[in-house]
Amino acid sequence: MNPIRTLAAAAAAVLALSGTGLAQDTIKIGEINHYKRMAAFAEPYRKGIELALEQINADGGVLGKPLEFVFRDDDGQPGDAVRIADELMTRDGTVMVTGSILSNVGLAISSLAAQKGFIYLAAEPLADSLVWKAGNPYTFRLRTSTWVQAAMLAEEAAKTDAVRYATIAPNYAYGTDAVEAFKAALKKLKPEVEFVTEQWPALFKIDAGAEVQALESSKPDAIFNVTFGSDLAKFVREGNTRGLFDGRQVYGMLTGEPEYLDPLGDEAPEGWIVTGYPWYDLPDGPGKEFVDAYQAETGETPKIGSLVGYMTAQSIAALITKAGSTETDAMLAAFEDLKVETPLGEITYRGLDHQSTMGAYVGRIALEDDRGVMVDWDYRSPEPYMPSDEDITAMRPAE
């Protein structure tokens, strides 16, 4: 063998190993979100991630290396999200991807993850199809199931005398999933209920006056509301003005979350039964410790996105630690019934459907100091509200 060629090959191998080592000084996670289009929601989420990273890396990182998130902005567009995800998967040295708020974007990333054989942790998207009807081996979801939150509200609705229900929800995956779940859960608990109208405004393009008029004309006993963000603010203002909510119980998905409740100010709809995040009223324990740390670090009060971002980073750190590797096959095996300690207590990523057991706070909206807060709330675990294992297995595509 030519000794010069042998030395050259050895030197090249050393350089290659050195380059690989340099490229792997951190463990990179791709994070895709709507930082410009939905800054009020995405920025608290990012700050929650950054707080968790600071704590994780101060404690030695993961597998002896710092954990790093590579943040990219998709402007809330599914096509842009897919392009960015592909770059993160193939060019930027990330070992998995996470993120997204809007469900249509999350579903687009999930489809690409399945094609590429690359793990995607859907942090905030709420469409249950992510883990059920459109589920795949590479997609996992952190946020509390939409089915579960709707079923919690249906349980409260079933306790009343209301029979005639109206629904209003944005006309995209999350909205349709929420209405379907509420109707199914309430019908099961109270078969005599009827749904007299369903209103489907386009996301962030609600004609609140027309929607309120349509709901009022159907003369419902109660209303199930799934609007959020600017749509919610317009709906609440118009509904208050026209007396739509007078004498009617309203059940609001997400309405108690600070992202959506705080901007309403003194227009917050008193008496609504909602899911949300009463960070200001948590007792001593992990939940309050997170709130205190977040406020100390950011100078801001936490949003539900702050909590989800924090739990996203915690989940990924726990995943890679359990896997002992950043290889996809090892992480997939580790995700099976992965347990994570969080501000909400221990959660598990169910092997059955890749859905976490993050629960939800349910309570009633009241006005305090001219702002809406959740009162009479409790934190509920999701297990009693889930569809049966058999039903979930039947919904998921065969793998």
> Residue 168 domain-assigned?
yes
Residues 244 and 314 in one domain: no
- Mean of all residue pLDDT scores within the chain: 93
> Residue 172 domain-assigned?
yes
Residues 364 and 312 in one domain: no
Q: How many CB atoms lie within 10 A of CB 299?
A: 7
Residues 117 and 196 in one domain: no
Residues 97 and 174 in one domain: no
Residues 183 and 273 in one domain: yes
Residues 33 and 119 in one domain: yes
> Residue 47 domain-assigned?
yes
User: Which residue numbers in the chain have pLDDT < 50?
Assistant: 1-23
pLDDT for residue 13: 38
Residues 205 and 72 in one domain: no
> Residue 1 domain-assigned?
no
pLDDT for residue 24: 66
Residue 128 domain boundaries: 26-143+303-335
DSSP string of 32-58, one letter each residue: EE-TTTTHHHHHHHHHHHHHHHHHHHH
pLDDT for residue 11: 39
pLDDT for residue 111: 97
pLDDT for residue 249: 97
Residues 246 and 205 in one domain: yes
> Residue 266 domain-assigned?
yes
- Maximum separation of any 2 CA atoms in the chain, in Å: 92
pLDDT for residue 17: 37
CB 147 within 8 A of CB 385: yes
d(CA 270, CA 195): 24
Residues 48 and 162 in one domain: no
pTM of the model: 0.91
> Residue 354 domain-assigned?
no
The structure tokens 């609007």 sit at 227
pLDDT for residue 20: 37
Residues 151 and 171 in one domain: yes
Q: Burial of 57 by CB count in 10 Å (0-12 exposed, 13-18 middle, 19+ buried)?
A: middle
Residues 380 and 231 in one domain: yes
**What count of residues does the chain have?**
399
Residues 275 and 164 in one domain: yes
d(CA 226, CA 222): 13
pLDDT for residue 21: 37
CATH number of the CATH domain containing 71: 3.40.50.2300
pLDDT for residue 173: 85
What are 58's two structure tokens? 């101060």
Q: Into how many domains does the chain fold?
A: 2
